[in-house]
Structure 1
Amino acid sequence: MSDTAAIPSLPRRFAALRNRDSRPYLFTSGLSMMADNTEHVITYWVLWQTFHSPALVGFQIISHWLPFLLLSVWSGTLAEKYDCRRLIQAAQGLFMLVSAVWGVLFLTDSLTVWAACILLVLHGTAGSLWGPAEQLMLHDFVDRHELPSAVRMNATFQSLGILFGPVVGSALLLWLGPTGGIFVNVLLYLPMTVLMFRTRFTGHTRDAAHGAADVAVKPQVGWRDTARVLRGIRSNHLIIAMIIISGLTAVTIGNALQSSMPVFAARLGAGSSGDLTYGVLLFAMGFGGVVGGFLLEATGVIRPTLRAAVLSTVVFGGAILAFALTGSYALAIVALAVAGAGEIASLSITQSVVQLEAPAGERGRTLGVYGMFSSGLRTGGGVTLGVLGAAIGVTQAIGVFAAVLAVGALVAWWYAARRPGRASRGETTLDAGVAP
């Protein structure tokens, strides 16, 4: 390690939005995430109307997240070795291809279960390829002390995409039908694809300019080199703590809350207006995440530290626990909004800490490991909900998951604090003013 110049203690508010390089990236990233979720709305509706298969519904979730579990580290290795612009374009191109093939199958009335399964897997694969390259680009666009802003704003804009994806998908279904809607969805991936032709950053430009010695050694795209990185990560308790927190979030609340929301809507009095009750509950958490992301950026009250990551996760888990216990519709909405803010804080902080702590020459693979846990373990979220929900009930299971997440975050804090130095004080290299 080597000392760097003094890093400003208070980075500019909305620094990533003020940056002319990262600003269009944030908007196009949110647009691509919206296209991702728009495709889900259209295709899931068509698949249910065509096959009425509960097994296929389960496969939709598994196929989306399993590629993250299996391929994230490999994708991180690719992001270290190659131009991240081209990897992002490859991912966006695969997204577009999948949407276009869906459209052809709808148009020709030739959709089969096997074709649907293949397309669902390819869609998940595109997402796993996009993740590490996307994060390395953020590291390239902004200075080190502004990286938390870039990660937080990227998460916020992607949350906007997730929030409005169902709205856009429903509107396209209503106005154009599934065939026209899915072909229009192809166009939503184009802005990010075109932007990657226009930007001069590659995901490695800033590290190369700073003369990082370990960037010159390109990693091998193979399991042996990946295993070496995994062994190295074990010595960094701060990174391991972030992985524990993100993994616990994925395997406990993760997808479980959204899939169980109809149960909560019924418990909170959904009757003839059940659709409105259900929709408001789904919207509340997404709205809380978006508002929370902008408020955190505007106030600058939270820095990327172990303490902040743990506390935001505890707030997230505590709010979900309150939601699971309350019988009041109004309190449930408030609890979900608070949970959304806690979730985006936890997500952006853990991502920032991993980026800041990872060595430059191993950042992509380290982010790949993080993605493997934070996204890949969502594959098993449905299994944990199904098993525990069958034993004690769905609402009770969500409450247990929330409590486990909060306690697990505190355990991760204790684990990281065992390391002498920065981690015991809850600091990252950003706070210490040191470059890894």
Structure 2
Amino acid sequence: MVASGSFAAMKSVPYRLQFVAYVLAMMADNIEHVISYWVVFQKFHSPALAGFAVLSHWLPFLLFSVVVGGLADRFDPRRIIQCGMLLFIVASSGWGFFFITDTIQMWHAMLLLVIHGCAGVLWQTPNQLLLYDLVGPADLPSAVRLNAMARYLGILVGPAVGGVIMLTLGTSHGIIFNTLFYLPMLLWLFWAPVRDKSIAVRRFAVRGLADIVLTIRAIGTQPVLTAMTWLAGLTSFMIGNAYHAQMPGFAGDLGHGDPGVSYSVLLAADAAGALLAGIALESWGRLKGTPRTAIMLAMLWSVALLGFASVRIYPVAIVLLFCAGFFELSFNTMAQTLVQLNAPPDIRGRVVGLYNMAGLGMRAFSGITVGLFGAAIGIHWSLGLSAAALLALLLLLSQRAAKKA
């Protein structure tokens, strides 16, 4: 992995502006989740709907990540991201309308969750390519870590800001107010630096779903890309972030004071661990980025979540979620950086899109492994069994990576 200094990406003024806009957009994303999940949970009390929230949020990544990566190879990624921001605004405004009129029905919620998922797939892969254009390969590891920190900073700040907004404006007007936080990213992209459009390899046609097969074949002979794509797919398929959608249920089962406060604290603990990991990795910079290290960190993440699913003691649950957040950011940022640095330049968008298809798209199925099974056997059992199975699969992947090293 190319070495770079602590917080090296922050030397770039365009990157600093992107970082601020990204934090605000991620905060808005998570404010929407906090408010919408809470209102929908209170109205429908449906673990199955919470599972659908995961499915609808991540299924667009499974179907369209490589396609969007191909579009970003060919066209200006800034405009694709802006389309995503507009869809986020539509989704938040839609929630606000139904909350104000008190006419929300289950199919309304399902539609808005799908719109939100489509917005995300238009945002994430082009934004990762934009990082490469803003800082170049030398400072890319720093940029990836810092953007991951920005993501978790949004998750950490989102519940707190969302709580203040709910108290002052209420859920209905609060989620409409939330649309303002998407505007900095939307507007900054009109002035963001334009990458070199003269590279001929960026003129490849977008071939739709056929790009998935072609990209898989292209990385088949590259062990690093293959291992990291498998890592992303396994962790996302088995667990992903499905336990976030079930967090109101975990908060109620732990029975510690007001469920709304407990819910926010649990989410914040997971985000705080990730934020600390980002700061530590940027400041220390001695953890060598290798496939085996990334897999080991993912194994520690699965152990922490297995513990969280098993305990019924609120303070211990907070500590375990903090550890889970720490390990999740560590292995995710390491894997993403390895993919970007090792991706062939002519198909970087497609390779990053394939990684996101595995790392984000496969989370759609975690809505089944954790969400829908949770409705049948209980969310503690579904998360615990998924974490145990993931640990076994990661052990096999680690042995395979060691043989190819």
TM-score normalised to the size of structure 1?
0.83
How far apart in 2 are the matches of 1:326 and 1:52?
23
State the Cα deviation string for residues 61-89 of structure 1 (Å, max 9, x = none).
22211111111111111111110111111
Asked if the contact 1:152–1:348 (Cα under 8 Å) also holds between the matched residues in 2, the reply is yes
Asked if the contact 2:54–2:366 (Cα under 8 Å) also holds between the matched residues in 1, the reply is no
Match in the other structure for 2:221: 235
State the Cα deviation string for residues 340-385 of structure 1 (Å, max 9, x = none).
1110001101111111111111111111111111111221213213
Match in the other structure for 1:355: 340
Match in the other structure for 2:274: 289
Q: Aligned pair 1:82/2:75, yes or no?
A: yes
The one-letter code sitting in structure 2 at the alignment partner of 1:117 is M
Match in the other structure for 2:12: 19
TM-aligned CA deviation for residue 242 of structure 1: 0.9
TM-aligned CA deviation for residue 267 of structure 1: 6.5
The one-letter code sitting in structure 2 at the alignment partner of 1:231 is R
The one-letter code sitting in structure 1 at the alignment partner of 2:33 is H
State the Cα deviation string for residues 390-428 of structure 1 (Å, max 9, x = none).
787643443333333333333223333444xxxx1xxxx
How far apart in 2 are the matches of 1:330 and 1:198?
46
Do the aligned partners of residues 113 and 349 (structure 1) sit closer, same or farther apart at CA in structure 2, a change above 3 Å counting?
Answer: same
Do the aligned partners of residues 265 and 87 (structure 1) sit closer, same or farther apart at CA in structure 2, a change above 3 Å counting?
Answer: closer
Match in the other structure for 1:60: 53
The one-letter code sitting in structure 1 at the alignment partner of 2:274 is G
Deviates more, 1:296-305 or 1:38-47: 38-47
Q: 2:244 aligns with which of 229, 235, 258?
A: 258
TM-aligned CA deviation for residue 244 of structure 1: 1.5
Q: Aligned pair 1:141/2:131, yes or no?
A: no
1:12-411 aligned within 5 A: 12-48=5-41, 55-107=48-100, 111-202=104-195, 205=196, 214-215=201-202, 217-261=203-247, 270-272=255-257, 276-326=261-311, 329-385=314-370, 394-411=379-396
How far apart in 2 are the matches of 1:368 and 1:297?
25
Deviates more, 1:192-201 or 1:94-103: 94-103
How far apart in 2 are the matches of 1:339 and 1:222?
36
How far apart in 2 are the matches of 1:334 and 1:105?
37
State the Cα deviation string for residues 169-202 of structure 1 (Å, max 9, x = none).
2322221123321221111101011111111234
Do the aligned partners of residues 102 and 368 (structure 1) sit closer, same or farther apart at CA in structure 2, a change above 3 Å counting?
Answer: same
How far apart in 2 are the matches of 1:114 and 1:279?
26
> Structure 2: 5+ residue runs without aligned partners?
none
TM-aligned CA deviation for residue 110 of structure 1: 5.2
- Aligned-pair identity in percent equals 42
How far apart in 1 are the matches of 2:45 and 2:346?
48
Asked if the contact 1:313–1:405 (Cα under 8 Å) also holds between the matched residues in 2, the reply is no
**Matched position secondary structure for 2:287:** coil
How far apart in 2 are the matches of 1:156 and 1:376?
21
Match in the other structure for 1:432: none
Do the aligned partners of residues 37 and 386 (structure 1) sit closer, same or farther apart at CA in structure 2, a change above 3 Å counting?
Answer: closer
TM-score normalised to the size of structure 2?
0.89
Q: Let me know the Cα RMSD of the aligned residues.
A: 2.8
How far apart in 2 are the matches of 1:391 and 1:66?
22
How far apart in 1 are the matches of 2:89 and 2:106?
20
How far apart in 2 are the matches of 1:390 and 1:185?
31
State the Cα deviation string for residues 96-130 of structure 1 (Å, max 9, x = none).
12323433444455545444433221111010111
Do the aligned partners of residues 98 and 303 (structure 1) sit closer, same or farther apart at CA in structure 2, a change above 3 Å counting?
Answer: same
Asked if the contact 1:148–1:304 (Cα under 8 Å) also holds between the matched residues in 2, the reply is no
Deviates more, 1:35-44 or 1:83-92: 35-44
Asked if the contact 2:159–2:268 (Cα under 8 Å) also holds between the matched residues in 1, the reply is no
The one-letter code sitting in structure 2 at the alignment partner of 1:192 is M
**Matched position secondary structure for 2:289:** coil
How far apart in 2 are the matches of 1:344 and 1:288?
8
State the Cα deviation string for residues 230-276 of structure 1 (Å, max 9, x = none).
221222222121122112211223234334556655675x3555555
Do the aligned partners of residues 112 and 327 (structure 1) sit closer, same or farther apart at CA in structure 2, a change above 3 Å counting?
Answer: closer
Do the aligned partners of residues 283 and 223 (structure 1) sit closer, same or farther apart at CA in structure 2, a change above 3 Å counting?
Answer: closer
The one-letter code sitting in structure 2 at the alignment partner of 1:175 is T
**Matched position secondary structure for 1:118:** helix
Deviates more, 1:274-283 or 1:259-268: 259-268
Deviates more, 1:320-329 or 1:95-104: 320-329
State the Cα deviation string for residues 40-67 of structure 1 (Å, max 9, x = none).
2333344455666665444322221111
Do the aligned partners of residues 318 and 90 (structure 1) sit closer, same or farther apart at CA in structure 2, a change above 3 Å counting?
Answer: same
Match in the other structure for 2:399: 414
Please say which structure displays the higher CA radius of gyration.
1
TM-aligned CA deviation for residue 278 of structure 1: 4.7
How far apart in 1 are the matches of 2:266 and 2:174?
26
